[in-house]
Structure 1
């Protein structure tokens, strides 16, 4: 089996930088030549096209992509991969992801991005790092998590509660939302980092959160419970995606780590 001929590996890579997948979404979809790169990248990264923060979100995703390109290059160099196998694909892709081009039309970058030899660099990288792969989060699960976060955000604005509790819930929503936004670029590792951040917040602020919860209104308690349920669901999905963790650290799961912290509030949903 040669890496260049194994098209399946283009859709599975060590991080959800998903070297082939992002590239395929960039060059594989038919689109108008005069569409701006901001809109092109919004489509590639699956960002809401009508978001008032679209340009900022695109810049965040592009910066993360460029970081992943450099991480990929470092990994390949560390195992002695010949430099010529990384070119021209990695260099061209990194150039195209420059934020300097986000207001340029797709037509100005299409030819350079679409050259067929670009794909070979991604194919070699995916094949070389095939043991570091992770599963894909199903589109419907990713959409469901994002939808629930949007619902939580809307409820947060409409529910009366103390400033402290509002800020606490918002931080947890924002942490998970940011990780999901960058999931197609950086994969499950960023979700895991966000969940560790969330778990740390529940641990450090445990006494205060418990006191706030005890005195909160029923709608506020319900919102905290829904937030905990979303966190628990996110942890369960993250555990199911990480093949490396499954192979080497099967006794440890994020869900088992996070669940005890959010369960007292989630149980409020079951009453």
Structure 2
């Protein structure tokens, strides 16, 4: 099952993709794709609905029908740093002994085809294709063996980053991670039954049609169950929280010479089975 949020920014409605790739309206059944609507009982109930029985939404998603972020009202946007060995190498950093956790501010969240805005004063805005894990059943101190029972679905995330803010402006990485539009999320939330092996999904990112990142979740250092269990040791996880699990090599700061986004570029990215995003980059205001 693929769940979406469609419509104008700030007024998105919940929907479900049908077999033809068109959106069916779920607003008569749930208020949003988020929160308690992502609990296991709710997901099971939605999965039992024939999409053809729901109202058809006019338009084609990602063409003439805007999609918002596939999760509404995200409570926590948790990110994992240096979770691919080859990305750590290109960054010149050691493989971490434990997962590196940082946060994106939820005001960074935007739709999968919304513009990315280069922030004022930016010199090193960068890209990162990542697997997003959306929490369904919350909890604390989750056992790794049961961690996948807490997953409502998966999605594509672009962990857009300003490297100068992140690395050179003192303090934590968060400064360079949470600027407005730095969290394109979606296009859809894909439930786990549609993904045969989340630890073997190909992923890619292009800038102006040139392939920059090409990788696979098979090279994750810390796998999804471990990340869920680990994060839950430090915070309670709640329905609709998103964990963005790290990026493979090919980011802008890893190029020789480094390459960054300044405005005018088009960034396209995707993950096998989870759809793709395309974002125009706007120069700083």
- The verdict on a shared fold, with TM-score over 0.5 as the criterion, is no
Larger helix percent: 1
Q: TM-score, normalised by structure 2?
A: 0.28
Q: TM-score, normalised by structure 1?
A: 0.29
Larger Rg: 1
Larger strand percent: 2
